[in-house]
Amino acid sequence: MSHVSVPKTYKLFIGGAFPRSESGRVYEVTTPKGVFLANAAQASRKDARDAVVAARAAVSGWAGATAYNRGQVLYRVAEVLEGRRAQFEDEIVRQEGVSASAARAQVDEAIDRWVWYAGWTDKYTQVGGNANPVSGPYFNLSVPEPTGVVAVVAPQDSSLLGLVSAIAPALVPGNTVVVIASEAYPLSAITLAEVLATSDLPKGVVNVLTGSAAEMAPWLAAHADVNALDLVGASALDWVDLEIEAAQTLKRVLPPEEGPDAAAPALARITAFTELKTVWHTKSLL
Amino acid sequence: MSFLEYAPAPESTAILNLKPEYGLFIGGEFVAGGGESFSTISPATEKPIARIANADSGDVDRAVAAARRAYDKTWSKLSGRDRGKYLFRIARLVQERARELAVAESLDNGKPIKESRDVDVPLVAAWFFYYAGWADKLDHAGLGANPRSLGVAAQVIPWNFPLLMLAWKIAPALAAGNTVVLKPAEQTPLTALLFAEILQQADLPAGVVNILTGAGDTGRALVNHPDVNKVAFTGSTSVGREIARSTAGSGKKLTLELGGKAANIVFDDAPIDQAVEGIVNGIFFNQGHVCCAGSRLLVQENVHDEVVERLKSRLSTLRVGDPLDKNTDVGAINSAEQLARIRELSAVGEDEGAERWSPACELPAEGFWFAPTIFTNVSTSHRIAREEIFGPVLSVLTFRTPAEAIAKANNTPYGLSAGIWSDKGSKVLAVADKLRAGVIWANTFNRFDPASPFGGFKESGYGREGGRHGLAAYLKGSK
């Protein structure tokens, strides 16, 4: 007797929970040939704001964790990703319509990037900061610190790798993230959220919204409790308008990138969402 | 006189050899401006010092074209070693003409000569000397091997540290290999024009630095010019926002150094006498016209009365008056407009219920003056605790626990600087970790050094000036 499958309900990921959109809306996710795959939640402005609240609440814990601890948690994400690679490969094939080997390569690279970024948590401070030889009796040290809440428009033409490439570097220094997933390929994002939910990542550190980036991005760009905006996947949106919105609260903004090298692994993606803090302390004159 | 009698000790202006009028500095020459020229006045006397050219949009086009030409033909082709030698020359010329520059600065800006002579101008020379050495070491700036310059940098600076802000902008830009069009503030153009003469003496290739005097329209035309690759601005948060909007999508690299409302936190275990000196330096240095000024004093409740009493006693010894007098501690407010704003916000402070106090001091009849002022009984919701006053006005608030101090300190959209006073090192470091500000001074305040990065979190802007990180604002990694 054949097994009747139990399809997954793809919901949002906010504050460590998997709620439906408060709006009650869903949209159809299909294969490139139009075959129905799932009804994904179509997140609303309210969902985006709830996600920012959850992300803000998570900042002090995540930023305050030791770098070693953040590194281990991020490495564990890679471990759990590896364990669920079959599910990711299957979803990539179905959403993107690519071959199994292309899907496998994408998952391989996604896992490797998590590992690469996990290793940066206790090193970016050394590479990005330094002592300053000021002219006077002062101990003077510059150290990069996390910016706070980072809103991300994930690459739209990649289901898993683009998403991972955008959120992992923001997490390294201790930022929390609200990410708008690829509108056409949202399933991998929610499955990744399941990985994050079971990888010791504190709730609210990553919040995943699915639905219309054009609808949600302006609210995040204008939100006064968002510190930075990564527009890496926003090239098809009116992204200059988003940057103009972001200027109202002087958010740090990364521009759109296109092509296969979008959000390529780089230290600059980590430091883009850090703030350099310089502390002067007097030394006694002995 | 309430403290000690001092005979007047004015620094002579004989060292100045000012021209009655100054043109724009474009392509290595002084040229007439297209707009109506204006007078720069001394805020201490309201007397005009010189007529200053006003750059219109055609002048902006010519200056950007001169900078582009110099970038393409000369500066980008020069070795880092040679660029550095020009910067070293500039540093030396600034040192040689230091007294003249200090006198001009105090005359035009209103700041005490002891500050322009001992802080501003020495730091200007130090800034050029520091970045001169970087010009041939850019591989070590943190952007990987062979970082590239950006091109033409448009730089707009404020009136509070006219020559120092010029140095903060020009030195790293040139070291990194960019050419520059700089607009000084319309209130304080004088030292930038003397600096242009220094560039002629240094034989800096024509067009590498261009200086356009003018007001907001000139600045707007400059930062929005399509052939500019980099915009660096120091000034108000509202203008910073406008620039961020207008450059959005342009691909211009932008750094902003904007306003602040710094908390200066005094714990009960602080060395109180030193803290009082630091509080005074924090808010009355440069008449409080400092973006990182310690304008919110947070005092632990159990030492509040003692700190305020000693502070009042110390303020009674400050000498307010002639900026050129070597004994002056607090000079003139920079402009009538700024004075009006300080008066307005101070009146609001009283209306909202804070207690206002100033020492008895005679203010000169001419010019723009405001006595050092303390507000006690201030609450976090008062406008004088939230808005940047940019004047010699201190708001005093209290706290009981370190957590409360941190929460109050961070309760602002700004994040430029903060101060911590305590003899307990572990407490200082723990509090410094939690403060959301780019520069934190522990048991000191308002220290600046070319080796030390300066810049803000949150709405105080982005990018850093000073140190290795200050170079990154003018470079891109090579791919």
Q: How far is CA A1 from CA A4, A142, B406, in A?
A: 9, 67, 66
Nearest to A250 among B244, B441, B467 (CB): B244
Question: Of A217, A212, A210, A216, which is closest to residue A41 (Cα–Cα)?
Answer: A210
> Which residues are CB-neighbours of B231 under 8 A, at least 6 positions away?
B153, B154, B155, B156, B223, B243, B247, B252, B253, B254, B255
- Rounded to an integer, what distance in angstroms lies between the CA atom of residue B157 and that of residue A185? 47
For residues A131 and A140, the answer to whether their CB atoms sit within 8 Å is: yes
How many angstroms from the chain centroid is the CA of residue B411? 24
Question: In the sheet where B209-211 sits, what is the strand order?
Answer: B29-31, B24-26, B209-211, B179-183, B152-156, B230-234, B253-257, B461-462
Closest CA in chain A for residue B274: A282
Mutate to test the interface with B, among A59, A127, A132 (most CBs of B within 10 A): A132
Confidence category of residue B316, pLDDT binned at 50, 70, 90: very high
CA atoms of B426 and B429, how far apart (whole Å):
5
Asked if B232 is an interface residue toward chain A (Cβ–Cβ < 8 A), one would say no
Nearest CA to B396 out of B468, B294, B314 is that of: B294
What whole-number distance in Å separates Cα of residue A262 and Cα of residue A240? Answer: 18
**Contact check, Cβ <8 Å, A282/B442:** yes
B361 is a catalytic site residue: no
Quick: pLDDT tens for A51-69. Answer: 999 999 999 999 999 999 9
Nearest to B12 by CA among B107, B77, B110: B107
Spell out which residues of chain A touch residue B436, defining contact as CB-CB under 8 Å. 275
Query: Interior CA angle at A122 toward A120 and A127, to 5°?
Result: 75
**A126 to chain B: which residues are within 8 Å by CB?**
none
Residue A16, pLDDT > 70, answer yes
Interface test with B, best of A227, A281, A283 (most B CBs within 10 A): A281
CB B240 within 8 A of CB A250: yes
Average pLDDT of the segment spanning B94-106 = 98
Q: How far is A249 from chain B (nearest CA, A)?
A: 6
Cβ contacts from A onto B, under 8 A: 101
Contacts of B468 in chain A (CB under 8 A): 130
Is B257 a known active-site residue? yes
To test the contact with chain B by mutation, choose from A250, A254, A282, A283 the residue with the greatest count of B C-beta atoms within 10 A, namely: A250
CB contact under 8 A, A134 and B447: yes
Q: At residue B374, does pLDDT exceed 90?
A: yes
Strands A149-153 and A228-230, bridge-based pairing: parallel
Question: Is B452's CB within 8 Å of A132's CB?
Answer: yes
The pLDDT value recorded for residue A10 is 95
The distance in angstroms from the start CA to the end CA of chain A is: 87
The answer, for B31 touching chain A at a CB cutoff of 8 Å, is: no
> Which CATH architecture group holds A26-282?
3-Layer(aba) Sandwich (3.40)
Which residue from A51, A81, A49 is spatially nearest to A188, judged by alpha carbons? A81
pLDDT at B188 over 50: yes
Beta strand segments in B372-411, E: 373-376, 393-399
Res. B119: pLDDT tops 70: yes
- Touching check for B262 and chain A: CB below 8 Å? no
Which residues make Cβ contacts (< 8 Å) with residue A191, sequence separation at least 6? A84, A87, A88, A91
> If you average pLDDT over residues A163-178, what whole number do you get?
98
**Mind listing the pLDDT tens digit for each residue in A190-205?**
999 999 999 999 999 9
Give residue-wise pLDDT tens across range B317-338. 999 999 999 999 999 999 999 9
Q: What is the 3-state secondary structure of B206-248?
A: CCCEEECCCCHHHHHHHHCCCCCCEEEEECCHHHHHHHHHHHC
Could you say which of B105, B291, B292, B459 is catalytic?
Answer: B291
Angle (CA) A170 A172 A175, round 5°: 50
Please tell me what DSSP assigns to residue B318.
P
- Position B479 scores a pLDDT of 61
Mean pLDDT of A108-133: 98
Tokens for A82, please give them.
Answer: 């590896």
What confidence category does residue B3 fall into, taking pLDDT thresholds of 50, 70 and 90?
A: low
What percent of chain B lies above the pLDDT cut of 90?
98
Question: Per the residue annotation, which of B186, B257, B388, B465 is the catalytic one?
Answer: B257
The shortest C-alpha distance from A240 to chain B (Å) reads 5
Which chain A residues have any C-beta within 8 angstroms of a chain B C-beta? Answer: 127-128, 130, 132-136, 138, 140, 142, 147, 227, 239-240, 243-244, 246-250, 252, 255, 268, 275-282
Strand pairing class (B417-421; B439-442):
parallel
Mean pLDDT of the B378-402 span:
97
C-alpha distances in Å from residue B76, one per residue of A259, B79, B84, B174, B468: 31, 8, 13, 10, 20
Separation in Å, CA B441 to CA A138, B127, B128, B234, B400: 10, 20, 24, 21, 21
A2: confidence class by pLDDT, cuts 50, 70, 90: confident
CA–CA gap between residue B207 and residue B26 (Å, rounded) = 6
**Sign of the dihedral defined by the CA atoms of residues B399, B400, B404, B409, in that order:** positive
Residue tagged 């990694």 (tokens)? B477
- Distance from the B295 Cα atom to the nearest Cα atom in chain A, whole angstroms: 19
Structure tokens at B443: 């048991």
Q: Which residue is closest to A235 within chain B, CA to CA? A: B249
Burial of A6 (0-12, 13-18, 19+ CB in 10 A): exposed
Rounded distance, CA B233 to CA B57, Å?
A: 19
Name every chain B residue with its beta carbon within 8 A of the beta carbon of A130: 467-468
| Structure-token pair, residue A65 | 């964790």
A136 and B447 in contact by Cβ < 8 A? yes
CB contact under 8 A, A142 and B469: yes
ipTM of the complex: 0.96
Please give, rounded to a whole number of angstroms, the shortest distance from the CA of B451 to a CA of chain A.
Answer: 6
Closest-approach residue (CA) in chain A for B459: A250
Report which residue type is found at A262.
A
* Closest CB to A276 among B442, B449, B469: B469
Q: At what angle do helices B98-109 and B121-134 cross, to 10 degrees?
A: 120
DSSP state of A13: B
- Closest residue to B248, CB basis, from A227, A244, A278: A244
Q: What is the pTM of this model?
A: 0.97
Residue B187 DSSP class: T
Please give the average per-residue pLDDT across A264-285, as a whole number: 96
Q: What are phi and psi of A67, to 5 degrees?
A: -60, -35
For chain B, the average pLDDT equals 97
- As a whole number, mean pLDDT of residues B338-344 equals 98
Average pLDDT over residues B341-356: 98
pLDDT recorded at residue B1: 45
- B131 at the A interface (CB within 8 A)? no
Query: What does DSSP say about strands A206-209 and A176-180: parallel, antiparallel, or unpaired?
Result: parallel
Burial zone of A243 (CB within 10 Å; 0-12 exposed, 13-18 middle, 19+ buried): buried
Diameter of chain A by CA atoms?
87
Measure CB to CB from residue A276 to each of B126, B453, B458 and give the nearest one: B453
Residue B6 has pLDDT above 90, yes or no: no
What six digits make up the tokens of A38?
């799932």
CB contact under 8 A, A250 and B256: yes
A276 with B440: Cβ contact below 8 A: no
A chain contacts of residue B241, beta-carbon cutoff 8 Å: 247-248, 250
Stretch B52-69: mean pLDDT: 98
